[in-house]
Structure 1
Amino acid sequence: MKLLIVEDEDKTRTYLKQGLTEAGFVCDCAADGVSGLHHLQTQAYDLAILDVMLPGMNGWAIVQELRKTHRTPVLFLTARDDVDCRVKGLELGADDYLAKPFDFVELLARVRSLLRRGQAGESPILRVANLELDLVRRKAKRQGKTILLTAKEFSLLWLLMRRQGEILPRSLIASQVWDINFESDTNVVDAAIRRVRAKVDDSYEPKLIHTVRGMGYVLEQRDGFSNP
């Protein structure tokens, strides 16, 4: 799942991104309110973590503007912990509020709770042919057999399944799963695809992960065709 962290303190922003990435999330970051709102209005996020006091535009203003067009879940993470501030944030449309200093374990629990709540109206399981990906339990199954995936492998498979039928360039996969700029001499994407294929495709039919030469990868069912 993809999160946005809007935090102007470099140390806190780096800490949050590292911890949430290690927990299996894809994270984008913004250091000011204006760029944070732009990210939220132009990209799809499963949740946003916002500081209140931000340069350019504060967190309250971001939520107020965001709620005109989007229902992205919002968790306020801020040093302002008085009752009036919490009430104001929630009334403007925030979904939860956590005061600094915070325990990362609690933050992670709240993030996962908000994500489960946001999925209440949609299926928490992605399915393509006989492949299933459980977004809540973070497990994969093929023909009913559980497949163990690392956090990055899960994120890669989630991206491919969520955008099934769409050819995904290596550069997009690298930015979404690893948050890196793809370079022609790196094989991180190809190596990860091979690992995921070995787990979810090689021993099963139909083959689902396909190479589109010169373009990238696509996950889709191609009846009558084998995996190139």
Structure 2
Amino acid sequence: MIRILAVDDDIHMVNFIAAELRQAGYEVTEALSGEQALEILESETMDLAVVDVMMPGIDGFELTRIVRGDYDLPVILLTARHHIEDKERGFLAGSDDYLVKPFEAKELLYRVKAILRRYNHPEDDLIVIGSLRIDLKSYEVKSPNGILFIPLKEFELLALMASKPRQVWSRDSIIENVWGIDFQGDEQTINVHVKRLRQRLERFSPDVKIVTVRGVGYKLEVVT
């Protein structure tokens, strides 16, 4: 299920956003400040963030810069109508789109769907990270060293982590995305697959590494 982080210091607005998104089938986590949003991102995997511009402490612009830089998440910024100049600042901070308050729920849903479609379905079905080229159509992993054919679950695990480099994937989120919510195994299954995939990458593409984040999960990094 697609997970969205809704961030706004106005509890009525964040509740409205969350309710509309949940009704549309998304899983939503709410945050009432930039600081709370970052705490959530440290332990949970998200697919998109809807962020209000005007917040005390870490405002929407700064939060967008952090979210884009550290978690590579798409961001929709929310701005008041009399702050229309925020559009330029928002795009410079790295936002993907913006909405002017007040807005209709259907407009928010349209923009969410458009951005998720752009991020989750690349036109060429190719993910490039470091020296790796991951072909989602042929299930081939390529590097200057040739072509690497790996078991399906290892391929899905690699493609998942490569889709959002540097983002930490919890074991629960890996299970949900690769094995499905009905998976009856345990974390040892993930550990085995990660170990095998890590060993393959060390030989095949040493600049791309799976990093263990203790107590949280794993992330993919390019080592220069």
Could you state the TM-score of these two structures normalised by the residue count of structure 2? 0.55
* Secondary structure, counterpart of 2:55 in structure 1: coil
- Contact 1:73–1:114 under 8 Å retained in 2: yes
Q: Is 1:117 matched with 2:118?
A: yes
| Aligned residues between the structures | 142
Does 2:27 align with 1:12? no
1:120-177 alpha-carbon deviations (Å, 9 max, x no partner): 33569xxx99xxxxxxxxxxxxxxxxxxxxxxxxxxxx99651417xx6xxxxxxxxx
Q: Are residues 41 and 161 of structure 1, via their aligned partners in 2, closer, same or farther at CA, if it must alter by over 3 Å?
A: closer
Cα deviation, 1:81-119, whole Å, max 9, x if unaligned, reads 544210000011000000000010011000000100111
User: Take 1:66 and 1:106, find their aligned partners in 2: how far apart are those partners?
Assistant: 23
Matching residue of 1:92:
93
2:44 and 2:56 map into 1 onto residues whose CA distance is 21
| In structure 2, distance between residues paired with 1:210 and 1:162 | 10
SS at match of 1:20: helix
| Structure 1 Cα separation of the partners of residues 75 and 62 of structure 2 | 13
Of 170, 177, 189, which residue of structure 2 is paired with 1:162?
A: 177
Q: Distance in 2 between matches of 1:81 and 1:118?
A: 30
Q: Which position in structure 2 is the counterpart of 1:40?
A: 41
Percent identity for Structure 1 against Structure 2: 31
Aligned counterparts of 2:70 and 2:11: Cα–Cα separation in 1: 29
CA change 1:22–1:83 in 2 (3 A) is closer
Relative to total residues, which structure has the larger helix share, 1 or 2? 2
TM-score by length of 1: 0.54
1:9 is displaced (CA, Å) by 1.1
Alpha-carbon distance between aligned partners in 1 of 2:34 and 2:183, rounded to the nearest angstrom: 40
- Listed as ranges, the gaps of 5+ residues in structure 1 are 130-157, 169-208, 219-228
Whichever structure has more strand as a proportion of its residues is 2
Name structure 2 gaps, 5 residues minimum. 126-135, 138-151, 154-172, 190-224
Pairwise CA RMSD = 3.0
